[in-house]
Structure 1
């Protein structure tokens, strides 16, 4: 989660300076359905990122209250995001939640060739034989189960994958043009 969380921090702060609470709300909207973002997770991460020189904290006057600490990316933070987008690790490609976080900010990588390279990696991953359950070397399919819950799992996953494959192919075509 912390790798995905760091990517989300970099991505949202690439867009604009944010107060910690606003940043937390945006991250929760992106990934909160997976696991809510606790203050005890976010704020220590922000401090580590600040010590690493990826972000700075600036005191700005509040609109109606006390001054607020706004977070902004440094040049190193901006470069770190672009590096992560240009060369995501394998889990950024294969883990659905990390993929969604990467996809949310891929627009910041303004080179269509580099964007396409990332999308092709995901396409390659999705077109490999896969299953939630295996019998030896044979991937099991929905038809292999009498269990309506496992059948549902497969049906939902198959529909989602088909939709993503269509989108990936369409987007790769548009990036070439």
Structure 2
């Protein structure tokens, strides 16, 4: 998720490491704030892979700051990751939201719609549930043993219903844009 967020934000324009960290934190911070210990090694890996470059720029004070930008290989990798998200990037809501944040960078409406169709198929697949009755078998959320677990189910159903509605609308719009 972190390399994808780095590539996505740098596709919008060059950034200093601190600016990049702020944007990633704004996107994912409520879930998992990005630490320097995770961010800078990820930047170094992308740089060693030829996907981003850095150059010095005078800072506000005396210190020189490093600016990060995408290379052509970085843009190609971003496009590949958006076009072909992994299964977990479709099924995990937070990873999927990272894909969704940058999906506009994939210029082909048919390819964008294909990603959304994968998410819709995941949402439409029957789920086993994660609450269990006294007999140890999964139960529907509305039959969960506690008020709070039933609340989780109700919230999840409402969220999934809203997401399905948006997905159907977005796919129809993208299909119209691609001529399908």
CA distance in 1, matches of 2:62, 2:14: 18
Equivalent residue for 2:15? Answer: 18
Equivalent residue for 1:168? Answer: 167
SS at match of 1:56: strand
Contact 1:129–1:139 (CA<8 Å) still a contact in 2? no
State the shift of 1:35 in Å.
Answer: 1.1
RMSD: 1.6
TM-score by length of 1: 0.93
Q: Give unmatched runs, 5+ long, in structure 1.
A: none
Contact 1:142–1:150 (CA<8 Å) still a contact in 2? yes
SS at match of 1:129: coil
CA distance in 2, matches of 1:87, 1:121: 10
Question: For residues 1-177 of structure 1, what are the structure 2 equivalents within 5 Å?
Answer: 4-130=1-127, 131-133=129-131, 140-177=139-176
Q: Give unmatched runs, 5+ long, in structure 2.
A: none
SS at match of 1:36: coil
CA distance in 2, matches of 1:118, 1:53: 26
CA distance in 2, matches of 1:139, 1:108: 40
TM-score by length of 2: 0.91
SS at match of 2:69: strand
State the shift of 1:139 in Å.
Answer: 5.2
SS at match of 2:24: helix
Of 105-114 and 142-151, the range deviating more from structure 2 = 142-151
